[in-house]
Amino acid sequence: MFPDLAANLVALGFGYLLGSIPFGLVLTKIAGTQDLRSIGSGNIGATNVLRTGRKGLAAATLLLDALKGTLAVVVAMRFGEYAAVIAGLGAFLGHLYPVWLKFSGGKGVATFLGVSIGLAWPGAVAFALVWLATAAITRYSSAAALAASVATPLVLWGMGRSQAAELLAALAVLLWFKHRPNIERLLAGTESKIGRKSEPEAPQG
* Arithmetic mean of pLDDT, 69-74: 97
pTM summary value: 0.88
pLDDT of residue 201: 45
Q: Are 178 and 145 in contact (CB under 8 A)?
A: no
pLDDT tens digit sequence for 139-196:
998 999 999 999 999 999 999 999 999 999 999 999 999 999 999 999 999 988 876 6
pLDDT of residue 99: 92
pLDDT of residue 162: 92
Q: How far apart are CA 194 and CA 32, in angstroms?
A: 26
pLDDT of residue 187: 95
102: left (phi over 0), alpha (psi -120 to 50) or beta: left
pLDDT tens digit sequence for 2-54:
458 888 899 999 999 999 999 988 998 898 887 777 776 667 888 788 877 78
Q: Are 101 and 155 in contact (CB under 8 A)?
A: no
Q: How far apart are CA 33 and CA 40, in angstroms?
A: 13
pLDDT of residue 68: 96
Measured at the CA of 178, the angle between CA 44 and CA 93, to 5 degrees, comes to: 70
pLDDT of residue 48: 80
Q: Are 89 and 13 in contact (CB under 8 A)?
A: no
3-state secondary structure at position 2: helix
pLDDT tens digit sequence for 105-125:
899 999 999 999 999 999 999
Which among 108, 135, 124 is positioned nearest to 24, based on CA atoms? 108
- DSSP letters, 53-85, are T-HHHHHHHHHHHHHHHHHHHHHHGGG-HHHHH
